[in-house]
Structure 1
Amino acid sequence: MEHKFTARQYMVKNDFEFFHTKDELPPNVEYHNHDFYEIFFYMSGRVTYIIEGKFYRLKPGDIILINNKELHRTIIEGGEAYERIVLWVKPDYVTNLNTDSTDLTMCFESSARKKYNLLRPDTETVAYLKTIVQKLEKAYYNSGFGSEVLKNAYINELIVYLNKAYLYTKDEEIEVDIEYNQKISNIIKYINTNLESELTLENISAQFYISKYHLLREFKKYTGFTIHRFIQKKRLIMARMLLKENVKVSEVSMLCGFGDYSNFIRTFKREYGISPKVFAREISQDREI
């Protein structure tokens, strides 16, 4: 069951969405991030998936998992049909499945626990995951008796087995198809964990013993952003998340490292088209509906 490619980067459902897409002409997708988790099943084509400085050269059967903080894009070469199945899942949906002994967000928050976003399961596991996805697709687009119950059962099962695949994926078996600069990756991790601090080109180049010129060139090469723009984007992503948690706008400005309150307001509005206060109010109204 194939569907047309959508350029939409937001969810219209409050739990999860399912897309099975095949394109003869490769779509152009720029760097972006989501407020949700993404599960990407690669089926065919010539695709490189870029996530925060790492280039993943995909093979059929590969799975990419992306959390709601990571900047990413795909590069698709022509000459072969590009087919994939993509699921968008609200983080709250996954969190609500957790138990005291089972954290199902683990596979999505991979950047904080493991090096890579790529899963390359063994043949048996791929076959089992494919069976779950096929059942989920059928239930998702079926309005018959019990379909709503079944689709939730299948997505829950899929998330459990993705975590199992994550736990057993061996880094050494996928590293041959991953390109990245270790120093740039370390810098990205440093930025992501220190967004509230003063992050300047001078401070970072000194911290990692790299010249400013070399840092500028290599950072843009692997991430697609200048270091200033990358930091700004990550701070804005963090700001949106905090505003959704009802943190006051003035506190968000400080917690995200903007320093100057008016600069935060101006930057947020330029990026998203509305002020942080309006964004927070709209989120609050959505909760009340």
Structure 2
Amino acid sequence: MMLDTGHIFSPIKEELICFHNTSTTELIDPTLPYHRHDAYEVYLFLRGNALMYLEQSCYKLVPGDLILIRPGELHRCICLDTQTYERIGLNIKETALNKLSSRRSSLFSCFEAHAFGENNLTRLTQEQIIYYTGLAAQLIACLRSEEYGQDILAEAYATQLLVFINTLYRSSTHSPYNIMPDLVSSTMSYIKSHLAEDITSGHLEQEFHYSSKYISRLFREHTGLTIRSYIIDQRVSLAKSYLAAGKSVAEACELSGFSDYANFIRSFKKSAGISPGKYKAMRPPVRYRNDAVYGKL
């Protein structure tokens, strides 16, 4: 579903999805905008010549790069040529992740130990790639099977995979190199820090000492988004946080920087698929939390 906010919202219908895909021309389009999911995602890059954009970061992918993406985290993968593009993807809803976790071992830890777009990439050795792909193959086979017990085995393989992933991130010392232009990253950071204020092209010119036309062109080139659409997207995301924290719809509108209530309602519906009032009425399920991890957030 393409939204006027400039990005694609891709809802995940199943509780758990795992796929191993190979293609050659699917993502050769530098104008592809960011997208986001309503589920957690694990992405393992195996082959190709591609860039992964995660919020304000961009990485030149190397086989074995494992990336964790939280719900709502903007991301996109751009293939640079027609080389075979191969990856393994895992999407899992919060309810399923909570079910597989225990009070002692939270499987959320690897996802929530990092801020959006930061420190969410590690690199696997060849031996670890083989182990990971083997577990993923068994999980995919179980998810496709209708035979007795395959659903239970699918949960078992998913649990093994997620425990392995959490263990990797706990011991990872890998520091990926962010190749996003500083001006684009800084513009994103500025917008996030000033969402409750009026943000104009003049403000950006004054802050970065470049023409607004140049800033806008570079921003669109590296994100697939206009600056305006990015501002709206971030304000809706902030409004969701306020609504989840108990603020009223009117309060969330004002605190997230929307000067016009009708525009807020309209923008929120286009982004979230439901009205702010309905979103506020929804309550996230209770889940096991690792206090040591959440203390860092």
Cα deviation digits, residues 110-163 of structure 1 (max 9, x gap): 651883332212233323222221221222112222211111111122122212
C-alpha contact 1:42 1:83 (8 A) present in aligned 2 = yes
Q: Displacement of 1:101 after TM fit?
A: 5.1
**For this pair of structures, how many residues does the alignment match?**
271
Q: Residues 96-175 of structure 1 correspond to what in structure 2 (within 5 A)?
A: 96-99=99-102, 102-109=105-112, 111-112=114-115, 115-172=118-175, 174-175=176-177
Does the 8 Å CA contact 2:33/2:224 hold for their aligned counterparts? no
Letter in 1 for 2:76: R
Question: What whole-Å deviation, never above 9, does each CA across 1:63-95 have from its counterpart, x for those lacking one?
Answer: 222111222212124433322221111134324
Question: Partner letter of residue 48 of structure 2?
Answer: G
Distance 1:131 1:40, change over 3 A: same
Looking at structure 1, the residues matched to 142 and 105 of structure 2 have their Cα atoms a distance apart, in angstroms, of 26
**Does the Cα contact within 8 Å between 1:24 and 1:82 map onto a contact in 2?**
yes
State the alpha-carbon separation in 2 of the partners of residues 109 and 146 from structure 1. Answer: 32
Query: Could you say what secondary structure the match of 2:58 adopts?
Result: strand
Matched with 1:44 is 47
Of structures 1 and 2, the one scoring higher in RCO (CA 8 A, sep 6+) is 2
Distance 1:158 1:54, change over 3 A: same
TM-score (norm 1): 0.76
Opposite residue 179 of structure 1, the aligned amino acid is I
Over 3 Å counting, the alpha-carbon distance change for 1:99 and 1:163 in structure 2 is same
Q: Structure 1 residues 193 and 133, CA, compared in 2 at 3 Å: closer, same or farther?
A: farther
SS in 2 for 1:158: helix
Residue 198 of structure 1 aligns to which amino acid in structure 2? Answer: E
Amino acid at match of 2:67: I
Q: Please say if residues 191 and 199 of structure 1, whose CA atoms lie closer than 8 Å, have aligned partners that are also in contact.
A: no
2:118 aligned partner, one-letter code: K
**1:181 positional shift:** 3.2
Whether the 8 Å CA contact 1:121–1:169 is kept in 2: the answer is no
Root-mean-square deviation (CA, aligned residues, Å) is 3.4
Native 8 Å contact 2:42 2:89 kept in 1: yes
Instruction: Kindly state the Cα deviation for residue 216 of structure 1 after the two structures are TM-superposed.
Output: 4.0
In the TM superposition, residue 179 of structure 1 has moved relative to its aligned partner by 0.8
Q: 1:160-209, CA deviations, whole angstroms, 9 ceiling, x for partnerless residues?
A: 2212222333344x32xx412346435534644664x2252455666x66
Alignment TM-score, normalising by the size of structure 2: 0.74
* Alpha-carbon shift at residue 271 of structure 1 (Å): 4.7
1:16 and 2:16 matched:
yes
Structure 1: stretches of 5+ with no match in the other structure: 1-6, 285-289
> What residue is the counterpart of 2:197 in the other structure?
198
How far is 1:232 from its partner?
0.9
Instruction: Give % identity.
Output: 30
Structure 1 109/273 Cα, relative in aligned 2: closer, same or farther at 3 Å? Answer: closer
Pick closer, same or farther for the CA change 1:64–1:19 going to 2, 3 Å: same
Counterpart for residue 66 of structure 1:
69
> What one-letter code is carried by the residue in structure 2 that aligns with 1:75?
I
Q: In structure 2, the residue corresponding to 1:87 is in which secondary structure?
A: strand
Q: 1:149 to 1:194 in 2, by over 3 A?
A: farther
Shift in alpha-carbon separation, 1:259–1:73, aligned structure 2, 3 A: same
CA offsets 1:263-288 (integer angstroms, 9 cap, x no match): 2013234556764446668x69xxxx
Q: Which amino acid aligns with 1:225?
A: L
